[in-house]
Amino acid sequence: MYKKNNNQGVVHRLMLPRDNEVVGVVVKALGASNFMVLCSDKRERICAIPGRLRRRFWVKEHDLVMVKPWSVQGDQRADIVWRYSLMDRDLLKEKGYEVPK
């Protein structure tokens, strides 16, 4: 977790990838809460939003997301665990994380 003050004194929390989580960009919506995501490790994965998170955020094409690969079929499948805002993209680049385009 990373905190940064902006000019108005508001603290913004940034979720950073932990363990085997990677950052990715949604390439295509496949339907039924499934998305094709291009990850920062140069792999395309079919990612799903877990049921407990489906109502928490709305994912669209070209959104920046954090994904957690599955323990089985980790090269092909993953879960979306966080959606980043536009401001978060710049903060991730500042912290040294590779952000796919």
Domain spans of the chain, in order of start:
20-94
Both structure tokens of 14: 């940034």
Q: Which fold has domain 20-94?
A: OB fold (Dihydrolipoamide Acetyltransferase, E2P) (2.40.50)
Nearest to 70 by CA among 47, 53, 89: 47
Residue 56: per-residue pLDDT: 84
> pLDDT tens digits, the chain, 101 residues: what are they?
555 565 666 666 788 999 899 999 999 999 889 999 999 999 999 999 998 888 888 899 999 999 999 999 989 999 999 999 888 988 898 888 888 87
Count Cα atoms within 13 angstroms, Cβ side, for 45: 28
